[in-house]
């Protein structure tokens, strides 16, 4: 951002000018004065930190989401999956009662009033969770469809090329090249899992399998492909399909 950005404001407006329904508006595309941009980014990080701590959660969830959204919309050409997943989850946290349990707000309430019991029938939590689940299904479905457009996902070599790419390599995974069959199985399993996720994640008897594969896929991305934060956030997103009763036991 700023007057010397790789994608400056003029180029940003050129890229978005001819789109009829372009929703990527941001006031940062109108600002080149760096002190104002720094103030915006510091406010965004501060709001995000307070949201993570759960202080004044309703206020700072909305503020953190909005300020981050302005940054995300400005980063045309430099936007990554982590940014999109974080902004998606933050949007639904604005709707939910996300500060009711593991938060500074809950701690302060317990100090003042004793036990703080939240009704499991909260419509806002149900609404936010369901939309997180549906959104995740759409992401995986289109991710699988996109992979099917590439030859490497059909011939089974995509896993090998991912392992051999040094720019993504955090741990050596090139040993998989000695077992083309294993590389092919992992490649095709990944595509099948993404395509079938939207159907098999809902039945209770197939959900543990799909979540287990999610742990392997995103855990592998985090450990071996140098995308620790992205892999971690995808696992966080998959918690939307974990039973609330199970999560509630962890808070006791």
**Who has greater pLDDT, 46 or 161?**
46
Structural contact between residues 16 and 24, judged by C-beta atoms closer than 8 angstroms? yes
Answer yes or no: is pLDDT of 6 > 90.
Answer: no
Residues 140 and 218 in one domain: yes
pLDDT band, very low/low/confident/very high, at 177 (cuts 50, 70, 90): confident
Residues 95 and 155 in one domain: no
Amino acid 192: pLDDT = 93
Closest CA to 45 of 31, 27, 64: 64
What secondary structure, in 3-state letters, does 93-139 show? HHHCCCCCCCCHHHHHHHHHHCCCCCCCCCHHHHHHHHHHHHHHHHH
Amino acid 96: pLDDT = 87
**Residue 193: enclosing H or E segment and its boundaries?**
helix 180-200
Residues of the domain holding 100: 1-107
The predicted-structure confidence for 94-112, as pLDDT tens digits, reads as follows 988 888 878 888 888 777 7
Task: Determine the length of the chain.
Answer: 252
CA dist 84 and 183 (Å) reads 28
Q: Which residues contact 187 (CB under 8 A, 6 or more apart)?
A: 152, 153, 156, 157, 158, 159
Show the tokens assigned to 124.
């806002």
Listed residues 39, 74, 107: the one ending a domain: 107
Is this model's pTM higher than 0.85 or not? no
Overall domain count for the chain: 2
Average pLDDT on 56-77 reads 91
| 147 assigned to some structural domain | yes
Structural contact between residues 238 and 135, judged by C-beta atoms closer than 8 angstroms? no
Residues 134 and 234 in one domain: yes
Listed residues 75, 107, 139: the one ending a domain: 107
Residues 46 and 93 in one domain: yes
| 152 assigned to some structural domain | yes
Listed residues 107, 136, 164: the one ending a domain: 107
| 116 assigned to some structural domain | no
Average pLDDT on 117-124 reads 65
Residues 138 and 96 in one domain: no
**Who has greater pLDDT, 145 or 121?**
145
Residues 128 and 238 in one domain: yes
Answer yes or no: is pLDDT of 20 > 60.
Answer: no
| 44 assigned to some structural domain | yes
């Amino acid at each position: 951002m700023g007057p010397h950005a790789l994608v400056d404001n003029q180029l940003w407006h050129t890229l978005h000018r001819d789109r009829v329904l372009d929703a990527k508006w941001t006031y940062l595309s109108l600002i080149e004065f760096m002190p104002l941009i720094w103030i915006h980014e510091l406010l965004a990080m501060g709001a995000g930190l307070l949201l993570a701590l759960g202080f004044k959660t309703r206020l700072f969830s909305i503020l953190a989401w909005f300020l981050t959204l302005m940054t995300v919309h400005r980063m045309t050409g430099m936007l990554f999956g982590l940014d999109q997943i974080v902004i998606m989850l933050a949007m639904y946290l604005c709707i939910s009662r996300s500060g009711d349990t593991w938060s500074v707000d809950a701690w302060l309430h317990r100090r003042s009033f004793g036990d703080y019991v939240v009704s499991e029938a909260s419509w806002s939590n149900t609404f936010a969770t369901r939309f997180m689940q549906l959104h995740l299904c759409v992401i995986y479905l289109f991710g699988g469809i996109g992979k099917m457009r590439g030859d490497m996902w059909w011939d089974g070599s995509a896993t090998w090329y991912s392992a051999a790419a040094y720019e993504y390599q955090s741990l050596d995974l090139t040993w998989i090249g000695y077992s083309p069959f294993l590389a092919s199985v992992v490649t095709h399993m990944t595509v099948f899992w993404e395509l079938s996720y939207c159907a098999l994640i809902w039945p209770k008897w197939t959900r543990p399998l799909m979540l287990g594969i999610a742990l392997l896929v995103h855990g592998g991305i985090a450990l071996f492909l140098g995308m620790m934060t992205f892999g971690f956030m995808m696992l966080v997103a998959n918690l939307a399909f974990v039973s609330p009763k199970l999560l509630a036991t962890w808070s006791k």
